[in-house]
Structure 1
Amino acid sequence: MSTKIRKVAVIGSGTMGHGIAEVTALAGYEVVMVDVAQDLLNKALERIKWSLDKLAERGGTISKEKVSEVMGRIKTSLSVTEAVKDIDLMIEAVPENIDLKKKIFSEADANAPSHAILATNTSSLPITEIASATKRPERVVGIHFFNPPVLMPPLVEVIKGAQTNDEVAKRAYDFVKSLGKEPIMVNKDVPGFVVNRILVALNSAACLLVTNNVYSIVEIDSAVKYRAGLPMGIFELQDFTGVDVGYLVGFAVAVRDPMLRVPCPLIEELYKKGWLGQKSGRGFYEYKGGPYERANIPREAGEKVDLVLIFAPAINMAAWLLREGIASREDIDKGVKMGLGWPKGVLEYADEFGIDKVVEALNQLYSKYNYDLFKPDPLLTQMVQEGRLGQKSGKGFYDYGATGVTEFKEIILKREPPLAWIILNRPHRLNT
């Protein structure tokens, strides 16, 4: 039985599908890209060629001479049955429709070699439910790329379904690394996995505070952007990615998990009106200058916002993920830094704020709104009881020195006497 991945089928040629096909071919794999119509596949090939040409122009990633070689590794097909006959790995990247995905997995299962791994790029649907359409659920895994797959962010979530074999998950993890991406392992199949769970928790809290007139949209966005250092405001980001995307992902995870059922009438109202953000000219902000205009968010608007109140639900979710063994501390923080572009991990923010202050904020939210998302996780309350309050106590989610300053994490010291190297370790910021 072959264990080496050589040939990959990518099902779906849309934004995610053709991007996954491109990075896979760039890494040297043979790829067959599948869709329902040849004109869709032809457009996808044109987009891939354009992207490769741009990469060649910038230099470094690929030379101009190599573009045709990479393109030669990508074939197309209109048939899942034909495409999967001699593959080692399938990555399904069709729209977030559970019935459609199960149909594809059933067909692939019936025609792919027994050693083949069947993966889904879903961002919100259960791996276990998708795997139920096959007779090999132990060989089904989630490989969730972030958009756009070719560029940043480099993060990919590898998700185990309830029956996924550990060796299959490890091979998927190694495959992702071979693409030059940064994988994190999600050990249990929970709605939203790691990054989207934390993002939904953050968005839900922000939306609730605006709905209840605690803060305005601009005040929250200003605070998280200029004081917390996030690359975009919470509502600004939703406009950028699409209000419809946020609404549908939030709905998909909330349907499957009561913990994430915090209603957001603001986003539902915008979704129903068709105010979908930058692409429609209006969302949480107006974009009179076209789809590439940025929202006007004054720096001084967020000076009085309590950042702990904003971040506490996301920290609570991260603590739950850690306590439940869904992901490691390092992978949770890598997830938000590389997947969302945060300058610090969510657990690093917790240590900076103070775990006691986080629990106080959660108790305030829980007593006022009574949603499970705001009930302090037992891990956080235990940490407070034990005096592990973060930087100020010298120990929280991470260990700190007596001065409360952590060791410098953004360099690697490599000793090979008589030489030594100091290596920058900021891949999520391209080592700036």
Structure 2
Amino acid sequence: MSTTPPSPPAAVTVVGAGTMGHGLALQFARHGATVVLVDHRRSNLDDARDGVDDTLDFLGSAGLLDADTDPDAVRDRIGYTLDLPTAAGDAPLVVETVAEDLDVKESVFEELAAHAPDEAVLATNTSGIQITDVAAAVPDAADRVVGCHWWNPPYLLPTVEVVRGAETSDDTVDRTAAFVEAVGRDPIVVERDVPGFVWNRIQFAVLRECVHLVTEGVASLPDVERAVRDGYALRTAAIGPFETADLAGLDLFRTIASNLYPHLSDADEPGPLFDDRIDAGRGGVDDGAGFHEYDDPPADVIRRRNRRVAAIRRAVED
């Protein structure tokens, strides 16, 4: 018996017009939703409009737009405003993607609870703040507050974490997962509201061990980078860790784990590999240097990253 695929929300409000905000707006608009993108600065909205244009051009050149997608129609489905109360007034789904600051998010959710429809899903794209803490700002609407953590860039990466807070209702989780699925994304339901959810706990566990290997002189930073990018991650793009263990044999992996776990990093601070670079003004691509040197503008570095991700995604899907 066939099942009816979920329908995208008719209207979506995205709060926060940064990198994630314009990417989320674009993904929903690609699938027919009318989107209002809200920010507190007009300049951020102008930058977001340019970001939508650039991303549509990139997706078209990368062959990642459906043949029947009209880029102009996608653009027309996205509105831009400074008026959060009005923007939230009719949307069945609101996604907040402002700064990773609990006080800022609480202020936004207080406005959303006051102005969004009573049945609206109130979602946060936080990557690490616990959903229960965000929902505490709106106790009367806590059952409608849910994590909806998209991975960057949201128009390329296919999975989205749907995170249940302590008060989040089953209906809210189900509706959010259906909205995500309806716009071409694969929902991962996170049943326990733990710090970092799933993606960031795995990402930072890997990063901690990489930092440990470099700091202890086991291997150079470029070689550790290549070991992950060109080895571990390349295979992991095709099969996950549990499937890898199945293929090698659980007995073997249990033996290796028993021998190796006691030697892995258990550091609870990022350490001098971060501190020394930050103190030297090497904060990342915006500074022209971080762990690596960057001669190109940040936008060019991001485009190069996106081209690589798009190529890997096409290869995996084939």
TM-score by length of 2: 0.76
Shift of 1:230: 3.9
What is the aligned partner in structure 1 of residue 284 from structure 2?
277
2:150 to 131, 145, 149: 145
1:104 to 84, 101, 108: 108
Matches within 5 A, 1:248-267: 261-267=268-274
Q: Return closer, same or farther for 1:429/1:197 CA change in 2, 3 Å cut-off.
A: farther
Shift of 1:277: 3.3
Are positions 1:29 and 2:36 aligned together? no
Moved more, 21-30 or 261-270: 261-270
Matches within 5 A, 1:76-225: 76-134=80-138, 135-150=140-155, 152-225=156-229
Shift of 1:129: 0.7
Contact 1:55 1:62 in 2 (8 A): no
Q: Take 2:273 and 2:184, find their aligned partners in 1: how far apart are those partners?
A: 38
Q: Return closer, same or farther for 1:113/1:287 CA change in 2, 3 Å cut-off.
A: closer
Contact 1:9 1:34 in 2 (8 A): yes
1:368-414: CA deviation from partner (whole Å, max 9, x where unpaired)? xxxxxxxxxxxxxxxxxxxxxxxxxxxxxxxxxxxxxxxxxxxxxxx
What is the aligned partner in structure 2 of residue 351 from structure 1?
none
Moved more, 61-70 or 24-33: 61-70
Shift of 1:183: 1.7
SS at match of 2:317: coil
Shift of 1:41: 1.7
Q: Return closer, same or farther for 1:208/1:79 CA change in 2, 3 Å cut-off.
A: same
What is the aligned partner in structure 2 of residue 391 from structure 1?
none
Shift of 1:73: 1.7
The one-letter amino acid of 1:272's match is: D
Q: Return closer, same or farther for 1:79/1:260 CA change in 2, 3 Å cut-off.
A: farther
Q: Take 2:235 and 2:271, find their aligned partners in 1: how far apart are those partners?
A: 23
Contact 1:176 1:182 in 2 (8 A): yes
Are positions 1:431 and 2:317 aligned together? yes
Q: Take 1:210 and 1:262, find their aligned partners in 2: how far apart are those partners?
A: 15
Are positions 1:40 and 2:47 aligned together? no
SS at match of 1:21: helix
1:251-280: CA deviation from partner (whole Å, max 9, x where unpaired)? xxxxxxxx8724422112222322123443
Q: Take 2:198 and 2:231, find their aligned partners in 1: how far apart are those partners?
A: 24
TM-score by length of 1: 0.57
Contact 2:8 2:31 in 1 (8 A): no
1:43-78: CA deviation from partner (whole Å, max 9, x where unpaired)? 322321333244345556245872222222222221
The one-letter amino acid of 2:110's match is: S
Q: Take 2:196 and 2:154, find their aligned partners in 1: how far apart are those partners?
A: 18
Q: Return closer, same or farther for 1:282/1:193 CA change in 2, 3 Å cut-off.
A: same
SS at match of 2:119: coil
Q: Return closer, same or farther for 1:290/1:23 CA change in 2, 3 Å cut-off.
A: closer
Q: Take 1:263 and 1:12, find their aligned partners in 2: how far apart are those partners?
A: 28
Q: Take 1:211 and 1:141, find their aligned partners in 2: how far apart are those partners?
A: 38
Contact 2:142 2:168 in 1 (8 A): yes
Answer 1 or 2: higher relative contact order, Cα 8 Å, separation at least 6. 2
Moved more, 195-204 or 59-68: 59-68
Q: Rg: which structure is higher?
A: 1
Q: Take 2:267 and 2:112, find their aligned partners in 1: how far apart are those partners?
A: 33
Matches within 5 A, 1:286-297: 286-287=293-294
Q: Take 1:279 and 1:80, find their aligned partners in 2: how far apart are those partners?
A: 30
Q: Return closer, same or farther for 1:187/1:429 CA change in 2, 3 Å cut-off.
A: farther
Percent identity over the alignment is: 38
Q: Take 1:6 and 1:269, find their aligned partners in 2: how far apart are those partners?
A: 49
SS at match of 1:283: coil
Shift of 1:121: 0.6
The one-letter amino acid of 2:76's match is: G
Contact 1:38 1:78 in 2 (8 A): yes
1:338-363: CA deviation from partner (whole Å, max 9, x where unpaired)? xxx8xxxxxxxxxxxxxxxxxxxxxx
The one-letter amino acid of 2:45's match is: L
Q: Take 1:225 and 1:58, find their aligned partners in 2: how far apart are those partners?
A: 22
Shift of 1:127: 0.9
Q: Return closer, same or farther for 1:141/1:276 CA change in 2, 3 Å cut-off.
A: same
SS at match of 2:172: helix
1:214-245: CA deviation from partner (whole Å, max 9, x where unpaired)? 3332342333344435499xxxxxxxxxxxxx
Q: Return closer, same or farther for 1:226/1:76 CA change in 2, 3 Å cut-off.
A: closer
